[in-house]
Amino acid sequence: MKEFICTVCPRGCRLKVDEKKLTVTGNGCIRGIEYGKNEAVNPKRILTSTVSIEGGLHRRLPVRTDIAIPKSMLFDCMAVIHGCKTKSPVIAGQVLIENIAGSGANLIASRNM
């Protein structure tokens, strides 16, 4: 049994999810069931950070993964990001690292710089 706060709406129901049977209780509405199952089985997050940039307006360029990655891979991706250096100019959306840490997501620039 795992417990989560549902983030679908501001109400924040406390969900209880049985990981084996995939049953959800404590949900105030039907949307909580889907959320609870995903959080129990394969929680995913978008990772955002910055990378070093040379010749830009600032020292750091904001970056993100283009799609959500497994929550368990956040720190593996951060390790890769720490080694990433880029040079100005960079265009928003430009792919900086493909399939970062084997997560299936690309690391992309968040802005022009």
70 forms beta bridges with 44
- Ramachandran quadrant class, 67 (left: phi over 0; alpha: psi -120 to 50; beta: rest): beta
By CB under 8 A, residue 25 contacts another protein: no
Residue from the set 1, 9, 22, 95 that interacts with another protein by CB under 8 A: 9
Q: By C-beta, is 50 or 106 nearer to another protein?
A: 50
Closest distance to another protein from the beta carbon of 73 (Å): 12
Half-sphere exposure of 49 (CA within 13 A, CB side): 18
Cis peptide before 70 (omega within 30 of 0): no
Q: Which of 1, 2, 5, 19 binds another protein (CB under 8 A)?
A: 5
Asked if 71 is part of the footprint of another protein (rule: CB under 8 A), the reply reads yes
For 101, how many CA atoms within 13 A lie in the half-sphere containing its CB?
20
**What residues make contact with another protein under the rule CB under 8 A?**
4-7, 9-12, 45-50, 52, 57-60, 62-64, 71, 74-75, 78, 82, 92, 110-112
